[in-house]
Structure 1
């Protein structure tokens, strides 16, 4: 069970503190180093279990934060147990404790599905690192230059640390609340468990335990409980549930949180930098510039990414529309696209009617070709005929569409009957020149018959009349012997 390992560590810690009362200090210091190391190992194990490369990296980032915290615990162990310095603030240890929050801040600002946006993630990391370091400068500035206890400075320092822990806990809870899938939810659930436990334990320790002679390091070592909870959440792999698959993948609150997280980090950096200006003007001003420029650059990169994504979606939509309006066999427009064009042509009732020619084209004795040579030969015949007809329409505004079966239709903008018959004759000759064998035809090869009609088309009724007239002309061409044009 996932809880056995962290629970065993806590049990061992409690047993050693009880059985070795004279060595409680060393035991407590060692436990405060061992617990985050155990949690880091659990986080590394969890990263190996994740399938996605991005998810594995996020668990590694969290493990890095815990390892940095262990360095701070090692600093306390060195100064208080080895060197015997007690009731002091140690600059390098405090720096480690502050920088341990940097990976968590990075996780709060990160987008689990940012793809290959390496530069955006780098900016997030720089902003998080800047926030962690400048916050350390503010907290350290509350103390004396030597880091010795100062009542007013320590009091302000404790409340600043409370604010930091509350900020991280609230951010983790919100990100867990809006998580989109199991992996993201497990990650921020682990962060939330750890941060909330650390907020409570560190708050009690800083306000009521630290600096009081009646309490020893064994009381502060209760913080190992937060790392035990983190290790438990890392080792606890939840199975995806059926209802989770039906969960909406992009709710409004999720979009809001993902959009607001980066600007919240940048704004926090600016606020901390403005506070730091009173202590170190140059560093505080640099922090303000970093927050403003960093977020501005991140916004530009995000906007560029959105534009690229919009262009990609538009191109895909056009490609899908083209596929939907193209006849799969012949490659010319299909009946659906023809209906769309006719609908647009007659949509403006106030527009003046314009001249339009319609050609109805039909392959002669096509059923005999299918029955004699098979459907594969029939399909190849349709493809070759469609290609020849398409080449016969010289003007860009003309349209060729498959009307149904072996029948095609062509719309010639602004063409009269004479022009339409010239185009029709050119198309008839082009198909005849293909010399596609046709045992069931009197000519021995594939031919087409064409009916032409021209007139004013400014209404659905007028368009229907033109198509009907072309269809009647086609029947006239067939009745006259086929392989000819009629109008």
Structure 2
């Protein structure tokens, strides 16, 4: 509330002072214009530096907008006091009053998708430079450095100001309506307040005051020009929490506006290029080409960036999926991957008209191994057994996994019971041939017991039935003295 009272008091002071001292009314108005412009710019810089963990360039761009407007004020004062020029539209000040929109347009048309890309900033700066050039040519096509030659030229300048201010007000409102975060809403709310009020106030002032009965500064009407900057100052000084999104915009609207916002800059260049084409056809054609190429290049590079991001996400997802299906100790597939593979191969038995075999493999006397040699050696034993089993598998379609603890499982598609027994004996011999010492075993070395089951899909049986059968077979192999192979009854 205090800020509102201070700003209101300064506005009243401006109005009263020019009434009380009309002989220096122009100087007083220039002073208040400068004070409000500086205060608005400082507030924008402060918000840009303190509104988040990173510097928010949008607020700094608006500070530059305020600075350019202040240049216009300074040049107007120069025309009035140094050159004694009473023309309502001197070319130098009009140029800055018009070009002030360029930094604001860059801020309002920035896309968060490419906001941190150097190429996006480069394209924006090229288009902004082209826009500034077009403004310069357009302004000095209508007026000279001393001012407008007549009322039609002055009205054309006023109409140009109306067009750009309305354009910026509409953009600011659109960006506000599509804001989904507090930080965005705070900036676009302040920008909307400023440009809407500036459009209304400056439009009325230009057409009915400057081009009416009060062509010079120094009347109480000058207070109107303070209002947009006072509104911006109050909006910028409000905390970021006050910029909270009051409604939840549809996701489609948010993405549509964010993706299409760079078009605003290109549209400005294109429109102004068409305006100057009559008197400067070469420049007009170059501006139109720059607008088309700029938006096309930006869209292409944005698409390339999105493809790169998608590729990285796909690779990361593949890595994570690999980790999710991989046993960290043995580097074999884990139980989750085994279940998925067994289910797939079970359903393919009908298609292939061939059975699938499941081998359950258990390291004999592994508890005694751990108790005698420790868990570090136990882990190394698991890794060596896994390596031996994987090295003995001859077919690429056979799937070996760590089932859990000291148990392993092997899914062998298109394998008969005889073939599964042959494979099981080969695996048992491969582990025994490593000769890993185990004094807790009657064999004196690490051995494995293997249970074998074979089955096909049927209404009476499923993959869990095959798993149970292989587990029962493993129990029979262990009951027979271990270091053996057994099949389901």
Match in the other structure for 1:238: 240
Aligned residue runs from structure 1 range 224-235, under 5 A: 224-235=226-237
Match in the other structure for 1:31: 32
Alpha-carbon spacing, 1:353–1:421, altered in 2? closer, same or farther (3 Å) = same
The structural deviation recorded for 1:411 is 1.7
Match in the other structure for 1:267: 267
Match in the other structure for 2:256: 256
The structural deviation recorded for 1:70 is 0.8
Do 2:449 and 2:474's aligned partners in 1 also have CA atoms closer than 8 Å? yes
Alpha-carbon spacing, 1:359–1:248, altered in 2? closer, same or farther (3 Å) = farther
Alpha-carbon spacing, 1:263–1:209, altered in 2? closer, same or farther (3 Å) = same
TM-score by length of 2: 0.87
Alpha-carbon spacing, 1:104–1:354, altered in 2? closer, same or farther (3 Å) = farther
Helix, strand or coil at the partner of 1:482: coil
The structural deviation recorded for 1:31 is 2.1
User: How far, CA to CA, are the matches of 1:251 and 1:42 in structure 2?
Assistant: 32
The structural deviation recorded for 1:258 is 0.9
Helix, strand or coil at the partner of 2:332: coil
Do 2:65 and 2:104's aligned partners in 1 also have CA atoms closer than 8 Å? yes
User: How far, CA to CA, are the matches of 1:416 and 1:204 in structure 2?
Assistant: 93
Aligned residue runs from structure 1 range 151-170, under 5 A: 151-170=151-170
Q: 1:305-356: CA deviations, max 9, x gaps?
A: 1101111221122122222222345432222222222333355687332454
The structural deviation recorded for 1:24 is 0.8
TM-score by length of 1: 0.87
User: How far, CA to CA, are the matches of 1:77 and 1:282 in structure 2?
Assistant: 35
Give unpaired runs (5+ residues) of structure 2: none
User: How far, CA to CA, are the matches of 1:37 and 1:283 in structure 2?
Assistant: 35
Alpha-carbon spacing, 1:450–1:109, altered in 2? closer, same or farther (3 Å) = same
Match in the other structure for 2:47: 46
Helix, strand or coil at the partner of 1:298: helix
Alpha-carbon spacing, 1:271–1:310, altered in 2? closer, same or farther (3 Å) = same
Alpha-carbon spacing, 1:350–1:85, altered in 2? closer, same or farther (3 Å) = farther
Aligned residue runs from structure 1 range 82-231, under 5 A: 82-112=82-112, 114=114, 116-143=116-143, 147-214=147-214, 216-218=216-218, 219-231=221-233
Do 1:453 and 1:469's aligned partners in 2 also have CA atoms closer than 8 Å? yes
User: How far, CA to CA, are the matches of 2:128 and 2:458 in structure 1?
Assistant: 65
Q: 1:169-206: CA deviations, max 9, x gaps?
A: 11111111211211111111111111111111101111
What's the C-alpha RMSD, in Å, of the aligned pairs?
Answer: 3.3
Alpha-carbon spacing, 1:436–1:95, altered in 2? closer, same or farther (3 Å) = farther
Alpha-carbon spacing, 1:433–1:190, altered in 2? closer, same or farther (3 Å) = farther
Match in the other structure for 2:308: 308
Helix, strand or coil at the partner of 1:217: coil
Moved more, 308-317 or 69-78: 308-317
Moved more, 416-425 or 195-204: 416-425
The structural deviation recorded for 1:288 is 0.5
User: How far, CA to CA, are the matches of 2:74 and 2:274 in structure 1?
Assistant: 32
Helix, strand or coil at the partner of 2:84: coil
Moved more, 91-100 or 447-456: 447-456
Helix, strand or coil at the partner of 1:483: coil
Alpha-carbon spacing, 1:30–1:302, altered in 2? closer, same or farther (3 Å) = same
Provide the aligned length of Structure 1 versus Structure 2: 484
Give unpaired runs (5+ residues) of structure 1: none
Helix, strand or coil at the partner of 2:359: strand
Q: 1:257-276: CA deviations, max 9, x gaps?
A: 11221224323422331232
